[in-house]
A = this chain, B = another copy of it.
Amino acid sequence: MLSGIPVLATHSRLAVSMTTAILFDIDGTLVDSNYLHVEAWSHGFAGAGLEVDQWKVHRHIGMDSSQLLDTLVPDATAVQLAQAKALNHAYFADLMPRLRVFAGAREKVAELARAGFTVVLATSAPDDELEVLRELLGVDEHLAVVTSAGDVDVAKPAPDLLQVALEKAGVVASDAVMVGDSVWDMLAAERAGVRAIGVLTGGVSAAELRDAGASTVYESVADLVIE
C-alpha cells in the first residue's frame, strides 16, 4: 500500500509551490520612513509652488518617483519638477536621523534567514539612502541579494525590480513572496507572478492592500508567518 504513495506525494509537491525566497520592501515595511517621505515631498511641492494634498502624497509613497510626479503634479513645469525633486531629496536627508527600524523587524529577518529562506531586499531607494537604511537595519549578514535604484529604469509598480531580485537570487517567481506596505509593492508582485503579503506599518489599510492583490495582511513584519 505504502509503496504507491511517494509517486502521489511527488506530484503534489510539484503542483504546490514552496516558498524559498522572501523579498522585502524597506520603506514603511522594515523602516518607519513613509511619513518622513510624505513630509519631505510635501515640503518639496510647497517649495516649488505646487499644491498637493498630503493624503495623496502618502498614497503614492513607494511608487516610482517619475510616475509619482506624473500622477500628483501633471501640470508642473520642468523647473517646478526639478525644484520639488531637489527640495525633497535635501529635506529627506535632513530627516534621516529620525529613521527607526520597526520593532521586531530585524529579528524577523534574522529568524527567516536562519530557517533557510533566501532573504532579499527589493528596493529602488537611491544609493545614498540605501546605505543609511542598510546600516540602520544591520542585517547584511542575513541577506542573499540587495537591489537598488541602479538595477532598473522603472521602479514599482513595474515588476522589473522584483524580476532582477529573483534573477540575482536564482529563484523562480512561484517560489518567492514579496512583503511590502504599499499598493505599489502588491501590484509589482502580481505583475512579477510573486505572491504578495501586506503589512500595515506604512499607513495603508488592509482593505487597500487586499484590493491591490495582497494574499494576507499582517500588522507588521514582526507578526509575519511564512507558510
Contact = CB atoms under 8 A, between A and B. Distances in A.
A67 to B, nearest CB: 20
A218 interface: no
Contacts of A59: 203
Copies in the complex: 2
Interface string A169-206: 00000000000000000000000000000001111111
A58 B35 contact: yes
Nearest to A28: B55
A201 B55 contact: yes
Contact of A207 (B200, B202, B205): B205
Contact of A32 (B34, B54, B103): B54
Contacts of A39: 35, 39
Interface in A8-42: 28, 32, 34-36, 38-39, 42
Contacts of A102: 53
Nearest to A206: B207
Nearest to A59: B203
16 contacts: A32-B55, A34-B54, A35-B35, A35-B38, A35-B39, A42-B98, A46-B98, A51-B100, A53-B103, A53-B201, A55-B201, A55-B202, A205-B205, A205-B208, A206-B207, A207-B208
